[in-house]
Amino acid sequence: MRFIETELNGVTLIEHDVFEDQRGFFFELYHARKYHDGGILPRFVQDNFSGSVRGVLRGLHYQVKNPQGKLIVVVYGAIFDVALDVRRGSPTFGKWHGVELSADKKRQLYVPPGFAHGFCVLSETAGVVYKCTDFYSAEDDRGIIWNDQAIGISWPVENPLLSLKDQSYKSLAESENELPVYSG
């Protein structure tokens, strides 16, 4: 298992040791000790499963008072997954990292608390499972508009299918007073 740090401190790509033969494949989806040794220290308290069709874009979501770290894996299909640093005062504030995750590649992305997270579906359908470090809190739920020009995320979809909630989010600059503070 390899833990690959990205240019955003704490955002980590995980490549698994996959064992394949004529029957199929096997890999450890999560192993607390190995993840701890790889620098992913939090305890996970909630697992979510999302099924979506091609062109769906979910995000960019974050929580203010109860920020969630997320460990994302695709169990079928393929997505373009994005982590956006929304921590006021962070050296990488407003920077993003995007990576393709797919069931074929069997990689995971860890997005730490204090980052907004979103993804768009590249395949006909996709199933995304993500472990969370804190519980969902509706009153704490926030988001950044997916196409904020100041951020410039290179989404591989031009006219995504969005929820009404995701369509209503403000830009990063308009949201600044609600954003979490970087604690170093």
Q: Structural domains in the chain? A: 2-178 (2.60.120.10)
**End-to-end CA distance of the chain, in Å?**
28
Q: How far is it, in rounded angstroms, from Cα 174 to Cα 150?
A: 11
- Whether residue 60 is preceded by a cis peptide bond, meaning omega within 30 degrees of 0, is yes
Tell me if residue 130 is catalytic: yes
What is the structure's pLDDT at 183? 84
- Tens of pLDDT, residue by residue over 83-122, are 999 999 999 999 999 999 999 999 999 999 999 999 999 9
pTM greater than the 0.85 cutoff: yes
DSSP 8-state code for residue 56: B
Whether residue 61 lies in the annotated active site: yes
The pLDDT value given to residue 42: 86
Q: Of these residues, 61, 62, 97, 110, which one is catalytic?
A: 61
pLDDT given for residue 165 in this prediction: 97
> Tens of pLDDT along 17-66?
999 999 999 999 999 999 999 999 989 999 999 999 999 999 999 999 99
- Name the catalytic one among 35, 62, 110, 130: 130
